Amino acid sequence: MNRFLSLIAAGLLAVTGCTDAKTTSSPAAASKPTAEGGDVAANLAKLSPEDRASAEAQKLCPVTDEPLGSMGVPIKLDVKDQPVFICCKSCEKNAKKDPDKTLQKVADLKKGETKN
pTM: 0.67
Predicted confidence (pLDDT) per residue in 48-92, tens digit: 999 999 999 999 999 999 999 999 999 999 999 999 999 999 999
Q: What is the 3-state secondary structure (H, E, C) of the chain?
A: CHHHHHHHHHHHHHHCCCCCCCCCCCHHHHHCEECCCEEHHHHHHCCCHHHHHHHHHHCECCCCCCECCECECCEEEEECCEEEEECCHHHHHHHHHCHHHHHHHHHHHHHCCCCC
Quote the pLDDT of residue 21: 44
Quote the pLDDT of residue 116: 52
Predicted confidence (pLDDT) per residue in 10-39, tens digit: 444 444 555 544 444 444 444 444 445 569
CB 108 within 8 A of CB 114: yes
Residue 115, CA distances (Å) to 37, 39, 111 in order:
25, 26, 11
Quote the pLDDT of residue 95: 96
Distance CA 92, CA 96 (A): 6
